[in-house]
């Protein structure tokens, strides 16, 4: 039974970490290096993460500066940013690339909040699916005679408490992200 609970906890933790990564990549009015994590650059024929071919810095709240270690990759970085869904035009001065973040208007903020809530809801669904799988596994153990009915009830209770805890953490992350998006 403990193995089922441990597996359930592990899967729920991974789901929460995935949500955190998704939220980190969700653009707010501020510059963040995490926005570039998913961008891959064609570097001598290999798709390479942008942070492995350049230094990424944030000199101001609304600016990201990308300085490649090898100047020949500057065009490939620019092309990768244009192909990404960032929606920011790169400013290439021949030595480095600047990304300037315009202030978000109210409509765009509301759209981002809606996207964040949708992503959080998908994570909650994933958590509930993990709960269902764990309870089904516990019922199989009880049916096979590996655990008693009392142990089954105890296991179901523990899985439900775990689920409630992770859903609460998702709600908390979602509220923080909403505040971050809506602040001007």
* Interval 110-154: pLDDT, tens: 888 888 999 999 999 999 999 999 999 999 999 998 999 999 999
- Residues contacting 106, CB < 8 A, separation 6+: none
pLDDT tens across 65-123, in order? 999 998 889 989 998 988 887 777 889 898 899 988 877 788 878 888 888 999 999 99
SS3 content of the chain, % helix, strand, coil (to 5): 60, 15, 25
Asked whether the whole model's pTM tops 0.75, one would answer no
For the chain, domain boundaries:
1-26+105-183, 33-100
The predicted model gives 44-53 an average pLDDT of: 89
**Structure tokens of 78?**
């620019």
Which pLDDT value is given to residue 39? 87
pLDDT tens across 154-182, in order? 999 999 999 999 999 999 999 998 888 88
Pick the CATH number of 1-26+105-183 from 3.30.420.40, 3.10.105.10, 1.10.3720.10, 1.10.132.20: 1.10.132.20
Cα–Cα distances (Å) from 58 to 97, 100, 116, 168, 182, in that order, read 12, 10, 24, 32, 21
Helices 106-143 and 149-182 pack at an angle, to 10 degrees, of 170
CATH topology of domain 33-100: Gyrase A; domain 2 (3.30.1360)
């Amino acid at each position: 039974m403990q193995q089922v609970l441990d597996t359930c906890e592990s899967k729920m933790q991974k789901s929460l970490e995935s949500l955190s990564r998704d939220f980190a990549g969700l653009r707010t009015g501020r510059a963040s290096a995490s926005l570039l994590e998913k961008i891959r650059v064609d570097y001598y024929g290999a798709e390479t993460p942008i942070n492995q071919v350049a230094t990424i810095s944030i000199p101001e709240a609304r600016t990201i500066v990308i300085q490649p270690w090898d100047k020949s990759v500057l065009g490939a970085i620019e092309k990768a940013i244009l192909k990404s869904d960032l929606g920011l035009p790169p400013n290439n001065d021949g030595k480095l690339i600047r990304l300037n973040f315009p202030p978000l208007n109210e409509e765009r903020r509301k759209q981002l909040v809606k996207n964040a809530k949708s992503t959080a809801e998908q994570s909650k669904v994933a958590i509930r699916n993990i709960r269902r799988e764990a309870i089904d596994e516990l019922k199989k153990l009880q049916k096979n005679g590996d655990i008693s009915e009392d142990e089954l009830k105890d296991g179901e209770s523990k899985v439900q408490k775990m689920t409630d805890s992770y859903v609460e953490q998702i709600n908390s992350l979602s509220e923080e992200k909403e505040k971050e998006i809506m602040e001007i």
